[in-house]
Structure 1
Amino acid sequence: MIIRFGYVALPLNLYKASPNKIINFKRFCQLPDEETQLYKLKSIVKENLDATRRILIYNVAHDIRIYRFTSKLVPLVTHDEVFDWDYIDEFKDMFKRIGDYVKEHNLRVSAHPDHFTVINTPDDNILRSSIKDLEYHLKIFEAMGLSEKEAKLVLHVGGTYGNKKKSMERFIRQFRSIDKKIQDRIILENDDKSYTAMEVLTLCNDLKIPMVLDIHHHWCNNNEEKIEDILGDIFDTWNNEVQKPKIHVSSPKSLKQPKAHADFVDINFLLDFINKAKVINRDFDIMIEAKKKDDALFKVIEELKLTEGIQVIDGATIEI
């Protein structure tokens, strides 16, 4: 059983490599004219794309093949009061260069639209904004030349709005109404408050889409289901995909803040899950969502080197 590890967005060990530089709307409006505003947007996007390519090179140098893009490559792109501009055509060569590098090195990439992107909302305006955000992510991946099999979008189900059953039904209905090209990229994740792993698994089976299990969220929010009882079914949602099943891992920050993410991953928390997954004996990938990003990944690998029965293959991969 082979497990690969990755991290989210911003490596802490790469100098001046933030891929999510932004300008807030207030500052944007203070710029003197539209020409200056456009120049500012273009300069930020160029910085973000340059940083993204540097990050991918850094990842390959450290054997890290699992990576989540920031959703903030293009600032203010979905803001209703900001003019439209063709960022795809403007930076088509840079997008393609990033996508080519991803494919050349067989990297697994994804994105996780922000919490305000909610498919099961009963509010039509929020739904329109959510679809606009999903369309933005779709454009980015298509500009990179990454297919629906190569680059996925991770989403939570959303709110319960006082009636979980109806909210799940509304998710299915509204999911099926959006562009098929977006549908084909979406994978669902259980959350730490509203929808348990079992509930998300039910939705994924109904919609025939993959599920990401977040083991920290499951620890926070469950109906006493045991991971070992549902993990095989969760992994099976990936049977029609070219990518392996995917797990998210982080550790509680403290007993007072159990839902917040700690700086690093509690190795015993992780090993408990890995030991349960051994029974299934299927390769999978782990996205580390700890606050210390790549440092947390490196620490996990160093600790796994000391664990009996685990062989570290390279800087971000183990075999059991």
Structure 2
Amino acid sequence: MSSITRAASDAIATSIHSDQPLSVPSARTDSSRAAQAVQQSASAPILQQTRRRSARGSAKQVEAQVLVDASQVKEEVGEGAADVRPVLDESSVDALKGSRNGRYNAPSRKRKASAKSAAAANGMLKDESGEEIIAQSNAHPAPTEPPQINGVHKTDSLSPAPSDTPKVSALERKRLAAIEAHHKWEPAPVQHRDFAQEGSAQRGAFRGRLGYACLNTVLRSTKPPSSKESIFSSRTLRLATIREKGVEAAIELARANINDIIPMLHWNVANNIRFMRLSCEMLPFASHNEVGWDVSVLETELRRAGNEAKKLGVRLTLHPGQFVQLGTPNQQVLENSIREFEIYCKMLDLMGLGPESVMILHGGGSYGDQAAALERIENTITTRLSASARSRLVLENDEISYSAEELLPLCEKLDVPLVFDWHHDLLRPSSLTPDELLPRIINIWQRRGIKPKFHLSEPRAGAKTHRQRRAHSDRCVELPMELPEDADLMIEAKDKEQAVLELYRIYNLFPVDKMVLRPHADDVTMATAGRRTVLDGSGGSTKRSGSPTSTGSPRKLTPKEEEAQKVSNAIKKAKAVAERLGRTYDGPREEEDLRAELAKNLVPASQVRAEMKTAANRIREDLKAGRPRVAPAPISREGTPTADAEE
């Protein structure tokens, strides 16, 4: 045991208030040692009982010990309960005497097998001669009289009477208990809003679609009874695995990813969600220059998923990662970017999806010369992309290099639609307001005959710096005032479909089934996770595989994370012991408890967003006046910028 875990265990052991310190099992202690710790810590004498069970007429066996509170026994057998000892009948004593160590030793599997000379046939138990003994369905243990303690029968704590009820697995019991607990759980109330009244005088009720990106948290966290895996579309693997097992390993994962689109579509429609972004981890290593493979081998699966989306009326889109750079001066990066974009475009074509299934890209880097980078983007679009890829291409204003105003001239020239992102506009604002930008943006969509698409996200609570403000919050609580009533809005939030359902509740857009809702998590992380900077065709997540915000497969924990998990498990055990003994736990605290306490001291995301609006308006005024763009300094909650440099 490491020093950290040992220190935590020692602190926990003295944390439960009692006359004697409670000995708490460490993270490696099994359940039997945990039970010993409870037994040793009790201040009242412990009464041990024995229970017996008979099977096919064999000798009675002592199977387990049951702890009985001495106070309960006193009520039943009188004040002498403190001196009570377990009383065994003769058969139990004989069984104990026959053992080598004074304890009952259960027969090994081999001895059990040899003892079963009767063979089961046609639902009957037969002996070696084939003579029927008893119907198998009626082969219950012979009834035995419960043991006596000082002349008092103890039946309430012994094994239940035999029953024909089928046994339920521990996993199934856990699942049913979770469902029952969820029925009792009530979601937090929301503050209702009116979409029509908050917008312009001409805006009516919202008639568009709200969608989420890539991952359904409900389906990802539960396994269907008929499957060994949960439902998600971002399975991936390592390049070394492909070299060992062949490219077929990647293709099989891609096939599973595509097949899982269909149950996700049905879940969405059942919950009134008809807009979704597909994951760009669906085709692992398909664009790799060494082990890449042709997506056409999955045409049957893709066509089936596409037909289902069209039948259900669900709009599907794609958003290749930030490593796809159409304006890069590096030719190798450009070739990789084009190959990645074309492969996912081909995937949408094989699915049979129409022009509304667009593919969104950021402008990318400016490389110190934005004008030159925009020229390279234009050249790539007009000369390097296929007709199909160009027909699906949509550009988006980002938070670092290109505002909506800086991309609009190129989009209008090439007739490439622009996805307006409200969160990015606050981080890199234009000189024009959203009200002034949207008519020009919508005009391009209308010329192309495609329903406009927009993005919405909100900053995380407590964010101060530009980097911290780039991170998306778990959910959103407000639809933009400038949003057209018939537009499609992609909610880019960590809680995925839960963020959409939250907005349904806030704006009364659709009824929401309580059983698909999940409680809010602690929203205290302020910094963005690291990003991938190399396009290697792996289709990897921008987050470390297995992180809470990754859509990839679970990864092995690091030694530091394993250590933290051991400490957390020890704390949980100590809390459970304290609760069972009716005592107060006052030992070390889990990280999630500390995060929850920290969240109470963070300013809410709504205040962070208000601060961002103020800073964005100041930049708009500077740009309109011809002054250069200056990024705002980190905000101090006292109202003055901090002295720290911008991240």
Please list the CA deviations of residues 265-315 of structure 1 after superposition, one character each: whole Å capped at 9, or x if unmatched.
Answer: 1x24x3xx2x234xxx5510100010110011111111112xxxxxx2566
Are 2:308 and 1:105 equivalent residues in the alignment?
no
Q: Please say if 1:130 is aligned against 2:130.
A: no
Q: Secondary structure at the match of 2:454?
A: strand
Superposition map of 1:45-60 within 5 A: 45-60=254-269
Contact 1:10 1:17 (8 Å CA) reproduced: no
1:283 partnered with 2:486:
yes
TM-score w.r.t. the length of structure 2 is 0.44
The yes-or-no answer on 1:169 pairing with 2:375 is yes
One-letter identity of the residue aligned with 2:210: F
- 1:299 and 2:502 are equivalent in the alignment: yes
**Letter of the structure 1 residue corresponding to residue 287 of structure 2:** T
The residue type paired with residue 419 of structure 2 is V
Check whether the contact 1:9–1:69 (CA below 8 A) recurs between aligned residues: yes
Alignment of 1:179-198 (within 5 A): 179-198=386-405
Partner of 2:247: 38
SS at match of 2:446: coil
Most deviating of 290-299 and 55-64: 55-64
How far residue 224 of structure 1 moved from its aligned partner, in angstroms, is 3.9
Measured against aligned partners, the alpha-carbon deviations of 1:107-136 in whole angstroms (never above 9, x if no partner) come to 211101111111111111111111100111
- d(CA) in 2 for partners of 1:39, 1:137: 19
Q: Secondary structure at the match of 2:360?
A: strand
Q: How does 1:71-82 map to 2 (within 5 A)?
A: 71-82=280-291
**Higher strand proportion (structure 1 or 2):** 1
**Matches of 2:419 and 2:511, distance apart in 1:** 24
SS of residue matched to 1:5: strand
1:19 aligns with 2:224: no
1:224-280 CA distances to partner (integer Å, 9 max, x unpaired)? 431111111111111123432111011012423101111111x24x3xx2x234xxx
Q: CA RMSD, aligned part only?
A: 1.8
| CA distance in 1 between partners of 2:381 and 2:451 (Å) | 23
The runs of 5 or more residues in structure 1 that have no matched partner are 306-311, 316-320
Q: What is the alpha-carbon distance in structure 2 between the residues aligned to residue 39 and residue 229 of structure 1?
A: 51
Quote the residue 1:318 is aligned against.
Answer: none
Asked if the contact 1:192/1:218 (under 8 Å) is kept, the reply is: yes
Q: Quick one: which amino acid aligns to residue 333 of structure 2?
A: I
Identity %, equivalent residues = 30
CA separation in 1, counterparts of 2:246 and 2:364?
34
How far apart are the structure 2 equivalents of 1:153 and 1:40? 27
Aligned residue number for residue 154 of structure 1: 360
Aligned residues: 294
**Per-residue deviation, 1:92:** 1.7
1:259 pairs with 2:467: no
In structure 2, how many angstroms separate the alpha carbons of the residues matched to 1:193 and 1:212? Answer: 16
Counterparts of 1:314 and 1:165, CA distance in 2: 49
Tell me if structure 1 keeps the 8 A contact 2:423–2:457: yes
* d(CA) in 2 for partners of 1:299, 1:155: 27
Structure 2 Cα separation of the partners of residues 167 and 39 of structure 1:
39
Larger radius of gyration, structure 1 or 2?
2
1:145 to 331, 346, 352: 352
SS in 2 for 1:139: helix
Does the aligned pair in 2 maintain the 1:59–1:65 contact within 8 Å? yes
| Secondary structure of 2:472 counterpart | coil
Secondary structure of 1:154's counterpart equals: strand
Per-residue deviation at 1:145? 1.2
Distance (whole Å) between structure 2 residues aligned to residue 205 and residue 108 of structure 1: 24
Is the deviation greater in 245-254 or in 211-220?
Answer: 245-254
Asked which structure has the greater RCO (Cα within 8 Å, sep 6+), the reply is: 1
Matched residue SS, 1:167: helix
**Is the CA contact 2:295–2:347 (under 8 Å) kept in the aligned structure 1?**
no
State which drifts further: 159-168 or 218-227.
Answer: 218-227
1:6 correspondence with 2:220: no
Q: Aligned partners of 2:294 and 2:449: how far apart in 1?
A: 32
**Stretches of structure 2 lacking an aligned partner (at least 5 in a row):** 1-203, 223-229, 513-647
What's the TM-score, normalizing by structure 1? Answer: 0.87
